[in-house]
Structure 1
Amino acid sequence: MFIGMDDTDSNERMCTTYLAALIARDLEAAGFGSVSGDLHLIRLNPSIPYKTRGNAALGFEFLPAEDTAEFRNRLISFVSEKIAESAETGCEKTNPGAVFIFEDAGSELKERLDSFFKKAVTDVIEITEAEQIVSAYSIPHLSLKNGRGLIGALAVCGAMMNPGWDCTYEYLAYRDPVRWGDQSVSPRVVDTDSLIAADQATSPGTWDTIDYSEKKYPFPVCVPSSGDPVLFGIRGESPEIVRTAAEMVVSEPVYFSQIFKTNQGTDAHLLPIQSAAEMIPLHSYILEGTVVREVQTNEGGHDILVLADDYENLPECAAFEPTGNFRKIIRKLIPGDKVAVYGSFKNNTLNLEKIEILFLAPDISFENPICPVCQKRMKSAGKGQGFRCRTCKTKSENKAETAAVRKINIGFYEVPPSARRHLSKPLIRMNNHDKSENEE
């Protein structure tokens, strides 16, 4: 059977990854059966406004010890009670949901959930669509408050039932529950130097452990700041590499840990499109265009890039202030440069996650010509009369063109790890995949 759950955390407490891992352990300890394969952590559309934190759904395949209706019901009740007891239902945004799908559900449901999974990552799904699926296929489920968690619960089951998508892994270490809560009272204890050593020993197989964009102050991206159960998390290409890195980390005692199979770092949320006319709010896109004006910085420190494609001007593209040095790259773009932008479309703005520079226009400036005799800059001889060297009396009709050296190169640029979305594919991973394909 497949068990999926979502929306049990709040902005400050609990974590659905923790609850899913705990329930999987408790099911085994209570003699209900055993977990089969990986626990799954599936990130959904990052632009959804009613998410709590990372918009992740959790699930795992479970092999029940018995195959009777009575046993199934006891197992479902056990999981449902655990969720109801632990979910942060006092939070307005928290609307837990869980589903229980058995192996004999049939190929029609499997195909429908495959489409549902992909839609949940790239599109906007209403609760009614999830409720229709649950009803049409008589799926046992838990729905608390408005039951929005049913969307993620079904989506993660779709991912588990239809493998083959690009995946990565994350090792999550959890704190003792007595240490949860206000960080001013019980701050996390994770040694930054050990994180740096782990990162350097396992990169490029792991990523987003440390943000080196501020070289004097390396920032441990993998250590959260809220009061939730996570102590730290290591992301990478395989279970082995994230475990190796995690074993090098020096920290407060780890309550327990879990490795998840995930779609993080895959760009699964991005939709390639040909025209800005196709853009819909709360979706994420890849789109090519040409810079049409100088980059402008607004009062909030956000850099605004305006592009045009073959059909029309694009909405503004924004490199927000928290993206740090990425904004310096954006500021170097000039009209005529051709780029591919990657990001989410909200409030009529494409929020940049990364950018590929495809073509650099020549940066031409016009200055008074230099005298070929004395090498001094000529002066204007009057309106419409060209230029003249006052010393040598030499003349020139036109200004001299000068092409400046562009301090930027063709290629990809990304926001720093501390500003990166969970689903965004880091360049270190893109480079590794390109290298592997070339070697093959």
Structure 2
Amino acid sequence: MLIGIDDTDSNEGMCTTYLAALLADELKAFGTVSDFPYLVRLNPSIPYKTRGNAALGIEISLFDESLESKKELISFATNKIEEYADLSCEKTNPGAVFIFDEAYVSLRRPLNDFFKKAVTDVVEIEEAAAFLKSAESDFSNSVFHISMKNGRGLIGALAVCGAVLNPDWDATYEYLAYRLPKNWGSNGGPKRFVETESLILADKTTAPETWDTIDYDKKSKPFPVCVPGGNDPVLFGIRGDSSDAVLKAAKCVVSEEIERSRVFKTNQGTDAHLILAESFSDMLPLHSYLSKGTVSSKSETIEGGHDIFQIQDDYGNFLKCAAFEPTGDFRHIIRELIPGDEIRVCGSFKNETLNLEKIKILKLAEEFESVNPNCPICGKKTESAGVGQGFRCKKCKTKTESKAEVLIPRKISVGWYEVSPSARRHLSKPLIRYSKDELIS
């Protein structure tokens, strides 16, 4: 069987991953729990999300497959959700789905479609409710759900079930360590202690198999990206390509006492949210895209340090692109783009603007400047002979009628560029994960 859970956290505290880690430990009384719970990030542009828009899934082989045992498990999980969910938050609307027996196989394909849509598209509560109504009718005593408040969490709960049932996708891993409950920020606990030097060691020991542990782009000192700043239970998280890599990195970390930890299987760092858009006119709000175009205007830095520029596709459509201040040194690359540069862009589309996650410069335009010509004899720079009188060399007495056009060296080159690690979205694929073929394609 499997359990899908979503939307128990809030902006003020709690974390659905903690509830999943807790359940993965305590549900061992009911059966054998899979090694890695699933942590699936959904569409990052959805406005209803609390923080990271993650849904959690747990797979179990039951000791007792009777209906009574199943209902006991559902009751146990429901009580835990009620105990730990931050129901005081307006955005927190928990949902959980339980799938047993024959439904486990029969719903594989439709749930996979639901999973893919929840990562790339907009899914409404009514769609999740209709899916469950049909499934519970077709598979009586094999599909159950619980919801609280408006039940928006049912969307993620169904989506993560689709991920668990269809594991044929680019999977990464995250090790998450949790604080002692007495130290949670919402309980007035102390500031997190995670030694930055130990995180640097963890990064140097395991990179490129792990990533986004430290942001070295910060001007003052290395910034620990993997340590959150809010009131939630997470102490730190290490992301990587394998469970071995994240566990190896975690062993390097010096921190305050850890209550529990868990390695999750996840779709983070995969670009699963990106949709290929041939034309900018195909772009819809609250979706994320991969597209290409030609720069049509130089970047303008607006109030707040954000950089805005425009590109044009092959169909004559224009698209405004933005590199926001938190993206760090990435903005310096954007400021070097000039009209005529051909680029590939990745980002989320909102307010008629593509918020950039990374770009690839495909071709650089040539830029020239007019300068006083060199003397054809001695090679030295000539001087103006007066208004409308051309240029002359004092030494050789040579004369040239007009200025020379000289190619300006570009400060950027063809290739991929990405935002700083501290500004990266959970789903955005870091360049460190790209294969050689992906980097040159």
What TM-score results when the alignment is normalised by the length of structure 1? 0.94
- Deviations, residues 132-157 of structure 1 (Å, cap 9, x unaligned): 01100103101101000000000000
8 A contact 2:198–2:253 mirrored in 1: yes
Match of 1:43? 41
Matched, 1:227 2:231: yes
In 2, the alpha carbon distance for the partners of 1:431 and 1:238 equals: 16
Match of 2:21? 21
Matched, 1:164 2:162: no
> Secondary structure of the residue that 2:361 maps to in structure 1?
strand
Range that drifts further, 305-314 or 316-325 = 305-314
Runs (4+) off by over 6 Å: none
> Secondary structure of the residue that 1:242 maps to in structure 2?
helix
Matched, 1:236 2:237: no
Q: How does 1:27-66 map to 2 (within 5 A)?
A: 27-28=27-28, 31-66=29-64
Q: Tell me the amino acid that sits aligned with residue 17 of structure 2.
A: T
- Deviations, residues 339-396 of structure 1 (Å, cap 9, x unaligned): 000100011110110010111111211223233356333426545xx61327465433
> Secondary structure of the residue that 2:434 maps to in structure 1?
helix
8 A contact 2:95–2:145 mirrored in 1: yes
Match of 1:205? 209
Range that drifts further, 160-169 or 184-193 = 184-193
Match of 2:7? 7
In 2, the alpha carbon distance for the partners of 1:122 and 1:348 equals: 18
> Secondary structure of the residue that 2:123 maps to in structure 1?
coil
Q: CA deviation at 1:107?
A: 4.8
Match of 1:334? 338
Q: 2:276 aligns with which of 260, 272, 275?
A: 272
Q: How does 1:8-407 map to 2 (within 5 A)?
A: 8-28=8-28, 31-105=29-103, 107-138=105-136, 139-181=143-185, 185-214=189-218, 216-373=220-377, 375-379=380-384, 382=387, 387-389=390-392, 391=394, 394-407=398-411
Q: Tell me the amino acid that sits aligned with residue 323 of structure 1.
A: T
Q: CA deviation at 1:182?
A: 5.1
Q: Tell me the amino acid that sits aligned with residue 400 of structure 1.
A: A
Q: Tell me the amino acid that sits aligned with residue 348 of structure 1.
A: E
Task: Mark the CA change 1:400 to 1:103 in structure 2 (over 3 Å): closer, same or farther.
Answer: farther
Q: 1:429 aligns with which of 433, 436, 441?
A: 433
> Secondary structure of the residue that 1:255 maps to in structure 2?
strand
8 A contact 2:339–2:365 mirrored in 1: yes
In 1, the alpha carbon distance for the partners of 2:377 and 2:323 equals: 48
For structure 1, the 5+ residue unaligned runs are: none
8 A contact 1:224–1:231 mirrored in 2: yes
Residues paired across the two proteins, number: 433
> Secondary structure of the residue that 1:89 maps to in structure 2?
coil
Q: Tell me the amino acid that sits aligned with residue 23 of structure 2.
A: I
- Deviations, residues 75-113 of structure 1 (Å, cap 9, x unaligned): 111111110121001000000000001131165521111
In 2, the alpha carbon distance for the partners of 1:216 and 1:88 equals: 36
Match of 2:140? none
For structure 2, the 5+ residue unaligned runs are: 137-142
> Secondary structure of the residue that 1:113 maps to in structure 2?
helix
Range that drifts further, 206-215 or 98-107 = 98-107
In 1, the alpha carbon distance for the partners of 2:86 and 2:268 equals: 24
- Deviations, residues 12-54 of structure 1 (Å, cap 9, x unaligned): 21100000110121121xx211212420000000000110000
8 A contact 1:183–1:226 mirrored in 2: no
What TM-score results when the alignment is normalised by the length of structure 2? 0.94
In 2, the alpha carbon distance for the partners of 1:358 and 1:127 equals: 41
